[in-house]
Amino acid sequence: MTRPAIDQLPASRIREVANAGLGRNDVLAFWFGESDEVTPQAVRDAAAASLQRGETFYSHNLGLAELREAIAGYTTALHSANGPVGPERIAVTSSGVSALMVAMQMLAGAGDEVVAVVPVWPNLTAQPAILGAEVVRVPLVPRDDGAWTLDLARVLSAVTDRTRVLLVNAPNNPTGWTLTRDEQQALLDHCRRTGTWIVADEVYERVWFGNGPAAPSFLDLAAPHDRLVVVHSFSKSFLMTGWRLGWMVLPPGQLDAAGKLLEFNTSCPPVFVQRGALAALAMADGFVPGLVQRLKAGRDRLHDGLARLPGVHAARPLGGMYAWFRVDGEDDSLALAKRLVRDHGLGLAPGVAFGPEGEGWLRWCFASQDLARLDAGVQRLADALRR
Amino acid sequence: MTRPAIDQLPASRIREVANAGLGRNDVLAFWFGESDEVTPQAVRDAAAASLQRGETFYSHNLGLAELREAIAGYTTALHSANGPVGPERIAVTSSGVSALMVAMQMLAGAGDEVVAVVPVWPNLTAQPAILGAEVVRVPLVPRDDGAWTLDLARVLSAVTDRTRVLLVNAPNNPTGWTLTRDEQQALLDHCRRTGTWIVADEVYERVWFGNGPAAPSFLDLAAPHDRLVVVHSFSKSFLMTGWRLGWMVLPPGQLDAAGKLLEFNTSCPPVFVQRGALAALAMADGFVPGLVQRLKAGRDRLHDGLARLPGVHAARPLGGMYAWFRVDGEDDSLALAKRLVRDHGLGLAPGVAFGPEGEGWLRWCFASQDLARLDAGVQRLADALRR
């Protein structure tokens, strides 16, 4: 009775795994992409103070003016190679996923072609499908050491002047793959020729273990009027997953279209949530590097553990919060993930949740304050694989 | 560069009026659909307590289980003619407008026909247009006394077996028109024959000055498995506009589709926002009737004032929070609204903002605690019309 396009959307395979573990109350769950740390107190206090002041009314579709200014300043501090990014390019959104939905509504409708680099978290490819667009999947390629790489020639041949949007999520959820500067330049040059929009999901740019404060961003290369939408979220860098707040960086001429679409999707995020975000940005310089150090400790602890397990192949990612690995002889990621949760109380995301290209792989979120919890998970995996 | 369907979406005419008043800091603004009362303290306290407890993580796509239970109980208390409405029919959404967008994504795509009863707030007809559906507008008809009525025969002839969705917002924003029980039954019977879904925006059901605690609802007539989606919001009945929280009542078989679409649109509302909603529902029996009394006082004060102005035609609405009126000799609602704000500091919404059917009319939100503020607005209108 619903539309076929909706019926065909995959239900969450992570949820399917979680259901397999129902009834166990001892599951160590690493399947979601979120830290187990609560949002910083100062951020929570700012939201509570806003509530106490009575900021409970509608606000501007594009977000509070002071928050757009603060985001512009934050963005410029990270990406000023092509001059400052001003607030006339910033729209605040009710989550990163809502920003991606609005970007897709702006750019692609029925019959339009969208090229997506995959595997990728499922929302990114579901959105154009909901809108009736045709999604062309271009797979990343796993190397023997477990790292995934871009087949640049294949992307370039897939993106033609019929392509409305190129969807790229880098640092990539789930694989940890990150675009190099040269790859970004090649994609940007090519999309300028074909007239294709780049929608860049860069929500993990600060969850970055390489040089500098952030992963390579298209904002470092693109001119303001390039056909580029960069999507961000407060979720990962500020421990604000549950707050549902994100933003988009747009060409200045697209702000009116974004404002209209935001009105018709969610109208505006709560003001008190935006006050929390202002507090987060105010403390970003001190907070984010510390968080990244904690995440790096989690990454290294988990990968050290995985490296000791025979038959497990995982490359240490430069960005993101996931270990992405395969196990010799295990080709059915959903079956393996169900067995792990049901028989061993270990909750991981099956690779097939991110598309058929992820089959045979598993995703493990290492954003845990408690390194012993990661150790206990590795022990459960070791027990499972021994049998 | 954006899609033509997006370029063609009307920009807000209310915003256009507001822009005409920029530079005046003495505008009495009645253009938005929101009360000037802050959210009740107990609701704000519940959210603040949740923040303090650290409830800052992702939650279920469909909303907290206890909130869905509470909404089901609240709904059943109002609409139990066909048995209780259980939580297996409830999905919590990140605003009423988001619920409407998700419902439309579920039901209508490119080339599908959607029939809408108009004039109506613009989001309702913009959403199917964004999705590429064809919107057929069926106008309500104004009577000489200023009340608007349904041309039932015209709706019934517009809805055919080619019609995927019938969109009805009653009590209606902006006209104050409300469906009668007989009209609801006729629409339901007809849509059962044509296989058409009814999407009923009933967010003003409690803002109701007629008999009983709520306006007539399709839930009083429909069976659980009827093709009916009823959309609600915490905004109007609980003074929670800025919280962005709503819900849908669905046939039980549609909950999985709704959950998928919620994941891909906004994923979930913040838990601390949902805790506020739980507090609101817990106090609903005491709170809502008092609010309705205050709104009724505003309605009567404003309509008493308008009735004294020569050439002004307005019918007292049974539901909603708007006076909807026309002025003899004033056919251009946008020009009049701009003149009112620019020259007289009176901020009203032009009727054309709600579609061409509203041309020549103005909307005035009477949800004001301060009746003297309404009086001052009426005085400004009187001054403007005297010239």
pLDDT digits (tens, 9 = 90+) for A85-137: 999 999 999 999 999 999 999 999 999 999 999 999 999 999 999 999 999 99
* B1 with A254: Cβ contact below 8 A: yes
Are A32 and A52 contained in the same domain? no
- Interchain CB distance below 8 Å, A260 and B9: yes
B104-156 tens-digit pLDDT = 999 999 999 999 999 999 999 999 999 999 999 999 999 999 999 999 999 99
- Residues of chain B with C-beta less than 8 angstroms from the C-beta of A99: none
| pLDDT tier at B68, thresholds 50, 70, 90 | very high
- pLDDT for residue B387 is more than 80: no
Provide the domain limits for residue A62: 41-283
Q: What is the pLDDT of residue B338?
A: 96
Predicted confidence at residue B256, as pLDDT, reads 94
State whether residue B253 sits within 8 Å of chain A by CB: yes
Average pLDDT over residues B159-182: 98
Q: Between the CA atoms of B27, B32, B36 and B40, what dihedral angle is there, to the nearest 10 degrees?
A: -160
B148 contacts chain A (CB < 8 A)? no
- B356 within domain boundaries: yes
What are the strands of the beta sheet with A361-365, ordered from one edge?
A312-314, A322-327, A361-365, A349-350
Average pLDDT over chain B, rounded to whole?
96
Of A1, A9, A56, the CB nearest to B39: A56
Q: For residue A247, list its beta bridge partners.
A: A92, A232
Q: Strand pairing partners for A116?
A: A137, A167
Q: Say what the pLDDT of residue B80 is.
A: 85
**A127 to B264: CB separation less than 8 angstroms, yes or no:** yes
Cβ separation of A1 and B242 shorter than 8 Å?
A: no
Tell whether A47 lies on the interface with B, counting CB pairs under 8 A.
yes
Q: Please give the C-alpha separations between residue A20 and each of A322, A335, A363, A377, B369, in angstroms, as whole numbers.
A: 22, 10, 17, 18, 53
The pLDDT value recorded for residue B21 is 84
Task: Give the pLDDT of residue B19.
Answer: 86
Number of domains in chain B: 2
CA–CA dist B300, B366 (Å, integer): 9
Partner residue opposite A242 with nearest CB, options B58, B109, B242: B58
Residue B318: which pLDDT band, with cuts at 50, 70 and 90? very high
Chain A residue at shortest CA distance from B53: A38
Lowest-pLDDT choice from A239-248, A317-326, B3-12, B173-182: B3-12
pLDDT of residue A80: 85
CB-based contact (8 Å) between B22 and chain A? Answer: no
pLDDT band for position A82 (50/70/90)?
confident
E strand map for chain B: 28-29, 90-93, 113-118, 134-139, 141-142, 148-149, 163-169, 197-201, 228-233, 246-249, 312-314, 322-327, 346-347, 349-350, 361-365
Of residues A54, A257, A266, nearest to B244 (C-beta): A266
- Please report whether residue B92 resides in a domain: yes
Question: What pLDDT is recorded for position A94?
Answer: 98
> Measured between alpha carbons, how far is A103 from A262 in angstroms, rounded to an integer?
10
**What amino acid is encoded at B314 in this protein?**
A
Answer with the one of B223, B256, B285 that is the final residue of a domain.
B285
Q: Give domain status of residue B236, yes or no.
A: yes
Q: B52 lies in a domain?
A: yes
A171-205 residues labelled b (16+ CB within 10 A) or e (exposed): bbbbbbbbbeeebbbbbbebbeeeebbbbbbbbbb
Cα distance between residue B82 and residue B223, in whole Å:
6
Same domain, B302 and B177: no
Q: Is A331 found in the same domain as A266?
A: no
The pLDDT of residue A308:
97
The verdict on a CB contact (< 8 Å) between B123 and A1 is no
Note the pLDDT of residue B10: 86
**Chain B: nearest CA to A193, how far in angstroms?**
15
Q: Is the pLDDT of residue B276 over 90?
A: yes
Question: Rounded to a whole number, what is the distance in Å from the CA of B240 to chain A's nearest CA?
Answer: 6
Q: Can you give the three-state secondary structure of B162-228, one letter per residue?
A: CEEEEEEECCCCCCCCCCCHHHHHHHHHHHHHHCCEEEEECCCCCCECCCCCCCCCHHHCCCCCCCE
Q: Is the pLDDT of residue A387 over 80?
A: no
pLDDT tens-digit map of B192-202? 999 999 999 99
Q: Which helix (H) or strand (E) holds A381?
A: helix A371-386
What is the C-alpha to C-alpha distance for residues A205 and A227, in angstroms, rounded to an integer? 20
Q: Does B140 touch chain A (CB under 8 A)?
A: no
Q: Is the pLDDT of residue B1 over 80?
A: no
B261 shares its domain with B146: yes
- The pLDDT value given to residue B11: 85
What is the per-residue pLDDT for B204?
98
Asked if residue B176 belongs to a domain, the reply is yes
Considering the domain architecture, whether residues A147 and A184 belong to the same structural domain is answered as yes
> Chain A contact for B170, CB < 8 A?
no
pLDDT of the residue at A2? 83
Single residue among B285, B316, B336 that ends a domain in this structure: B285
Q: Are B348 and B241 contained in the same domain? A: no
The separation between the first and the last C-alpha atoms of chain B, rounded to the nearest angstrom, is 45
Between chain A and chain B, the number of residue pairs with CB atoms below 8 A apart is: 201
**Is A311 buried (19+), middle (13-18) or exposed (0-12) by CB count in 10 A?**
exposed
d(CA B4, CA A107): 9
Mutate to test the interface with B, among A12, A250, A272, A369 (most CBs of B within 10 A): A272
Place A23 in a pLDDT band, splitting at 50, 70 and 90.
confident
CATH of the domain at A28: 3.90.1150.10
Here the tokens at position A237 are 């860098």
A196 touches chain B (CB under 8 A): no
Q: Is-contact A178 A268, C-beta < 8 A? A: no
pLDDT of A255 higher than 80: yes
B297's tokens = 């006082």
B242 and A58 within 8 Å at the Cβ level: the answer is: yes
- Return the pLDDT at B20: 87
Alpha-carbon distance of A342 to A334, in angstroms, equals: 12
pLDDT at A153: 98
Task: Show Cβ contacts of residue A30 under 8 Å, excluding neighbours closer than 6 positions.
Answer: A346, A347, A348, A349, A364, A365, A366, A368, A377
Q: Name, in order, each residue with C-beta under 8 angstroms of B303's C-beta and a sequence gap of 6 or more.
A: B314, B316, B323
The answer to whether position B259 is within a domain reads yes
pLDDT tens-place string over residues A175-202: 999 999 999 999 999 999 999 999 999 9
- Whether residues B268 and B309 share a domain: the answer is no
- Smallest Cβ distance to A261: which of B6, B51, B111? B6
**pLDDT score for A55:** 98
Closest residue by Cα to residue B187 from B156, B163, B225: B156
DSSP-assigned letters across all residues of A264-315: HHTS---HHHHHHHHHHHHTHHHHHHHHHHHHHHHHHHHHHHHHTSTTEEEP
| CB spacing of B51 vs A48 below 8 angstroms | yes
Four-CA torsion B108, B114, B120, B123, nearest 10 degrees: 20
Closest residue of A to B111, CA-based? A110
Q: What is the mean pLDDT of residues A132-144?
A: 97
Q: Residue B23 has what pLDDT?
A: 83
Same domain, yes or no: A34 and A110? no
* A242–B271 C-beta distance less than 8 A: yes
**CA of B93: which chain A residue's CA is closest?**
A266
Same domain, A15 and A50: no
Q: Quick check: A174 and A354 in contact, CB under 8 A?
A: yes
Cα dihedral A301, A303, A304, A309 sign: positive
Asked if B205 and B122 sit in the same domain, the reply is yes
For residue range A360-370, list pLDDT tens digits in order: 999 999 999 99
Give the domain-ending residue among B267, B285, B303. Answer: B285
Q: Domain with B107 in it: what CATH number?
A: 3.40.640.10
Q: Is there a single domain that holds both residue A221 and residue A356? A: no
* Interface membership of A237 toward B (CB under 8 Å): no
Confidence of residue A20 (pLDDT cuts 50, 70, 90): confident
Please check whether residue A316 is in contact with residue A178, taking contact to mean a CB–CB distance below 8 angstroms: no
Q: In percent, how much of chain B has pLDDT > 90?
A: 94
Q: Is B240's pLDDT higher than 80? A: yes
Inter-chain touch B132–A131, beta carbons under 8 Å = yes
Most A CBs within 10 Å: which of B260, B268, B271, B368, as the mutation test of the A interface? B260
Q: Which residues contact B97 (CB under 8 A, 6 or more apart)?
A: A263, A264, A265, A266, A267, B123, B246
d(CA A238, CA B99): 28
Confidence band, pLDDT 50/70/90 cuts, at residue A36:
very high
- Choice between B127 and B14, residue whose per-residue pLDDT is larger: B127
Concatenating the DSSP letter of every residue in A183-235 gives HHHHHHHHHHHHTPEEEEE-TTTTSB-SSSSS---GGGT--TTSSEEEEEEST
Contact A58 B271 (CB under 8 A): no
CB-nearest to A44 from B52, B244, B265 is B52
Provide the phi-psi class of B95: left if phi over 0, else alpha when psi is between -120 and 50, else beta: left
A353 — pLDDT class (breaks 50, 70, 90): very high
| CA dist., res. A108 & res. A114, Å (int) | 8
Percentage above 70 pLDDT, chain A: 100
Beta-carbon count within 10 A of A43 CB: 28
In a domain? residue B387: no
Q: Are A113 and A189 members of one domain?
A: yes
Collect all residues of chain A within an 8 Å Cβ-Cβ radius of residue B56.
38-39, 44, 239-243
Q: Evaluate if residue B298 carries a pLDDT over 80.
A: yes
Contact status, residue A58 vs residue B34, Cβ threshold 8 Å:
yes
* Cβ within 8 Å of A, B 269-308: 269-273
Query: Residue A132's CB: how many other CB atoms inside 10 A?
Result: 18
The residues, any chain, with a CB within 8 Å of residue B348's CB and separated by 6 or more, are: B17, B30, B31, B337, B340, B341, B362, B363, B364
Would you tell me the crossing angle of helices B123-130 and B96-107 to the nearest 10 degrees?
40
Q: Looking at per-residue confidence, does A12 or A341 come out higher?
A: A341
